[in-house]
Amino acid sequence: MDILIGYGGVALFFLVVIVVLEKTKRRDATFSDYATAGRSFGSFYSTMAFVNTWLPGTIFIAFAGLAAAAGVIGFYFVPYSLLAAVLMFWLAKPVNRWGKLFDLRTQADLIGLRYNSKVVRVTAAAIGIIASFPWVILGMQSLGLVFTYLSFGAISGVAAVVIGILLIGVRQIWTVRFGMRGVVISDMVQGIFAYFIGTAVILGILVWLLTNGHGFGQVSPGFFTIPGPGSALGPMYLMSLVLTGAVGGWCWPDIFVRLFTARSTSTIKRSAAQAAPILFIFGTALTLLSILASSVPEVAEAPDNVWFITAGIGGVGLVTVAGICVVAATMGNVGANLQALGTMTANDIIGVARHHRVTDPKTGKIAVIVLTILAAAGAFATLNISTGLIVLALVSYQGICQLAPTLFFGIFWKRGNAAGATAGMIGGFITAAILEILYPTSIPWLGGLTSGVAALIVNVLLYVGCALALPSAPQERARVEELFAHLNETETATDTTTTTPIDEKEPSKARNAR
C-alpha cells in the first residue's frame, strides 16, 4: 500500500505537468521559436525557469548531504547563487539586445558573434556539450534514491534507478515536442512544487528538529568552522567554491539560454530581483535543516539521505511530497539541459558544418531525441561504474568555467579577440582537467585553490595576452564598436519590437563572417 502512495504521488504530479503542457502547447514556426520560446516570457516565468534549472534535484541530496556531513561549509552554494543573480542583472542588456537584433539562439551563438569567428563558436559549443553531458546522465541516475525511498523497501536500488531513468526518458517526449516554450512552462509548475512547497516542508521539519532535541547545541562544534590557514583544504578553498559556482553558473548552456527566452532587458532584471530571495530563503533553510539533522543517528550514518530521513517524521505522505520535490527539480534540470544541448548541437555544430543558419525546428528536435537516447543509454551503461562518471562530472564542472573569460570579457570589454578566446578556452579546459585529476579537492601549494580557479588564471593570462599582443584589424575594431553601439539604443527601440532575423549574407559589419 505504501508504494502505491509513493509512486502514485509521482505519477499524479507527472500527469499534472503533462496536462499543463498540453493545454498551453503552441506550434513553433521557426527554429528560433523552438530554441528561445519566441523571446516572449514575462518576469515570473523567467524567474522560475532560471531557479528550476539552477537548482537541480541533487540540491536535496548531495548539497544537503554535504551540510549534514561537514556543517556550515554547505552554505557555499547560497552566496554563489546570489552572486549569479547579480550577474544575471548585468548580463541582461547585452545578451537580450544582441539576441534580438541578431537572432541568437545559444550561448555559443553569442560568443561566435562577438568574436566574429566560427572556430570560437564551435569551441564554445563543444566545451558546453562535453561538460554538460555527464551531468545529464547523473541527473537521470539520481532519481534512484527517490524511488528507493518511495517504494518503502519493495524495490531494489538498481530497479529504482532504472525506473528513474525511464521516467526522465519518457518526460523528454514533451521536451522534444514543445521545445524551450514547453521547458519554461513546465519549469513554472515544477519550480513551484520543488522550491515553494519544498520550503514549506523544510520549515516544518526545522520546527520539529528544534523542538525534539536536535537544536544547535547538539551539533558537533566542528560543523561551525570553515577551512582556514593551516587547514588541509587550504584558506582559499571556500572562496574558490563560491567563485567557481558564480562565474561558472552562466557558462552552462541550459542556464544561459534563459536570457534569450525573456521578453526584454527589464524582464531579466526583474527576474534577477525575484530569484535572489527565493534562492536565499530556500538555500538557507535547506542547509540549516541538514546541519541540525546531523545529530540524528541515521543521518550521521548516511548524510546524503538527510532529506528523506527527516521527512520520515511525517510518515508516508510527507516522504512522498519530499520525493516529488526531488523529481520536480530533476525534471526541470535534465529537461532544460537536453533542450539546450540539442539546440546547440543543431545550431552551432550542424549549422556551422553546413554553412547556413538552421531554420527548421525538426533539426533541433532530432538533436534532442538523439541526445536523450544517448543519455539514457549512458545512464544504463554506467549503473555499476558511477564513481568514474562522478569523477568525469567533477572534471567537467571545473572545465565549463573556462568559458567565463571568453564570455564575460567579450561582453564587457571590447579589446578581446578570437585568438585569445580560443587559446584561453582550450588552454584553460586542458589545465583544469589535468589539475582536477591530480588534485580532485584543492591544490595545497596554491593555498587551496580548486583546479577550476587555477585554470582560470591560465585562461585569463592567455586571453589578455593575446588581446594586448595581437591587436585587431581596423575593420574588426569597427565591427565591435558597431556591435557595442547597439547597447546605447533606447529600450523601446530594441525591447518592445520584433526584429527580423538577420541572414548569414547580411552585409552588416556586426554580423559579417559569422
HEC string for 388-413: HHHHHHHHHHHHHHHHHHHHHHHHHC
Query: Tell me, what's the pLDDT at 384?
Result: 64
Share of the chain above pLDDT 70, in %: 93
Q: Any alpha helices (H) in 102-197, and if so which ranges? A: 107-115, 118-150, 157-191
Question: Would you place residue 393 in the very low, low, confident or very high pLDDT band (cuts 50, 70, 90)?
Answer: low
Contact residues for 389 (Cβ-Cβ < 8 A; gap 6+): 134, 137, 138, 382
Give the count of beta carbons closer than 10 Å to the beta carbon of residue 231: 14
Q: Nearest-CA neighbor of 299 among 61, 9, 59, 85?
A: 61
Cell numbers linked to 451? 583546479
Question: Would you place residue 382 in the very low, low, confident or very high pLDDT band (cuts 50, 70, 90)?
Answer: confident
Share of the chain above pLDDT 90, in %: 68
Which tens digit of pLDDT belongs to each residue from 480-509?
999 999 988 776 544 433 333 333 333 333
Question: Would you place residue 161 in the very low, low, confident or very high pLDDT band (cuts 50, 70, 90)?
Answer: confident
Mean pLDDT of 175-190: 91
How many Å apart are CA 235 and CA 444, to the nearest integer?
Answer: 10
Confirm if 129 and 251 have CB atoms less than 8 A apart: no
Among all chains, which residue has been given the C-alpha cell 520543488?
Answer: 194
Least confident among 45-49, 141-145, 309-313: 141-145
Question: Would you place residue 58 in the very low, low, confident or very high pLDDT band (cuts 50, 70, 90)?
Answer: confident
Mean pLDDT of 119-131: 94
Residue 202 has pLDDT above 90, yes or no: yes
Query: Tell me, what's the pLDDT at 210?
Result: 95
How many Å apart are CA 405 and CA 463, to the nearest integer?
Answer: 7
Query: Tell me, what's the pLDDT at 488?
Result: 85
Query: Tell me, what's the pLDDT at 514?
Result: 35
Q: Which of 150-159, 297-306, 494-503 has the largest mean confidence?
A: 297-306
pTM above 0.85, yes or no: yes
Mean pLDDT of 30-42: 90
Give the count of beta carbons closer than 10 Å to the beta carbon of residue 158: 12
Residue 432 has pLDDT above 50, yes or no: yes
Q: Nearest-CA neighbor of 143 among 129, 159, 119, 120?
A: 159
Which tens digit of pLDDT belongs to each residue from 65-106?
999 999 999 999 999 999 999 999 999 999 999 999 999 999
Mean pLDDT of 272-292: 96
Mean pLDDT of 125-145: 88
Confirm if 66 and 309 have CB atoms less than 8 A apart: no
Output phi, psi for 29, to 5 deg: -80, -30
Contact residues for 161 (Cβ-Cβ < 8 A; gap 6+): 141, 143, 144, 147, 379, 383
Query: Tell me, what's the pLDDT at 468?
Result: 94
